[in-house]
Amino acid sequence: MRAALFALSAGLGLLPLASGAAQAVDITGAGSTFAAPIYGAWSAAARDTLGISLNYQALGSGAGQNQVMARTVDFGASDAPVAAAKLASNKLLQFPTVIGGVVPIVNLPGIAPNQLHLTGEVLAGLFNGDITTWNDRQIAALNPGVALPDIAVAPVHRADGSGTTFVFTSYLSKASANWKSNVGAASSISWPSGAGARGNDGVAAVVRNTRGGLGYVEYAFADKNHLTTVELKDAAGAYVAPNLDSFSKAAAAADWGSAKNFAVDMLNTPGEGAWPIVSATFVLLPTDPKDTTRSGAVIKFFDWAFTHGGPTATSLQYVTLPASVQANVRRAWSQVPGAPAAGR
């Protein structure tokens, strides 16, 4: 995605000083393009109650991790969870904010949204170059009665370091032993085929302009831009459409209790009706902040969002965190110097 800059000002309300006057606090964040719409909306919605001005740069998850490790922003944002050792060595607290889905998108003449059925293994074959035409027998077997066009498959992937890519390739690694052994999962990989484009908008633009195009984007972006998505087979063997209900079922089936640093696995969770490519997006907050006032303001912002921002998240096609997870996140904030009491 373009380095979209969100000057997110939320007019602040009343952070009391000893004198009783109000004081505004500026905070900065960078990273996840997936999280940018909800962070922008939360900031605007909080304008009447928080005195916090958020400047957020949607540069991608890799850049978000790098910037917070360099302490050039108050918090980083990443769709790819950071390993425990890396969090410890960089003195970072990781916590989730919302949940969403990653979806394949296609440009196939005569194919309606969610008409095409795919499995994870076939999807891996499309991206690694093993399946080269859309009327291939493997796709036809999953779509009886569907008139598949005899055109070449044109895969498109993210060219920038992306948490979306990490989530998508992690799913492909789960679904296909061949993909796992020969390609693997990471925020940036050596793609075996296809063209690269930067950000969700870049991938979407190339797919829209290419007959036979195939890409992957966050669902909120696909929904907003009316992109043609597909149905995927879930762990129970049923074909599932991407939507808030199927994302919520994946989140509900996840093992949050065993997840270290909140890095829960929501890929191909069991149970019928769960979309197989679901992930949380994370905030990375220093536990040795350069400025405890700004660090405390980051916590205050997300505490407000957990309490009041659910309807806004839902309207933007995000799933809110389970209440128990929000409670555990609030407890984790106490390890950050200057953290305010939750709910204040």
pLDDT digits (tens, 9 = 90+) for 178-220: 999 999 999 999 999 999 999 889 999 999 999 999 999 999 8
Euclidean distance between CA atoms 49 and 330, whole angstroms: 20
Count: domains in the chain: 2
Among the residues of the chain, which ranges form H helices? 36-45, 61-69, 84-89, 120-128, 137-142, 163-175, 177-182, 199-208, 219-224, 244-253, 292-308, 310-315, 323-332
Clarify whether residues 54 and 184 are in a common domain. Answer: no
What's residue 27's pLDDT?
93
Clarify whether residues 208 and 298 are in a common domain. Answer: no
Q: Do the beta carbons of residue 137 and residue 161 sit within 8 Å? A: no
270-289, pLDDT tens digit by residue?
978 999 999 999 999 999 99
Clarify whether residues 120 and 222 are in a common domain. Answer: yes
Element (H, E) at 283: strand 278-286
pTM of the model: 0.87
Clarify whether residues 294 and 248 are in a common domain. Answer: no
What's residue 51's pLDDT?
87
User: How many Å is the Cα radius of gyration of the chain?
Assistant: 21
* Secondary structure of residue 230 in the 3-state scheme: coil
The answer to whether residue 225 is domain-embedded is yes
What's residue 158's pLDDT?
94
What's residue 30's pLDDT?
97
Element (H, E) at 55: strand 50-58
Q: Do the beta carbons of residue 76 and residue 31 sit within 8 Å? A: yes
Domain that holds residue 111: 102-278
The answer to whether residue 46 is domain-embedded is yes
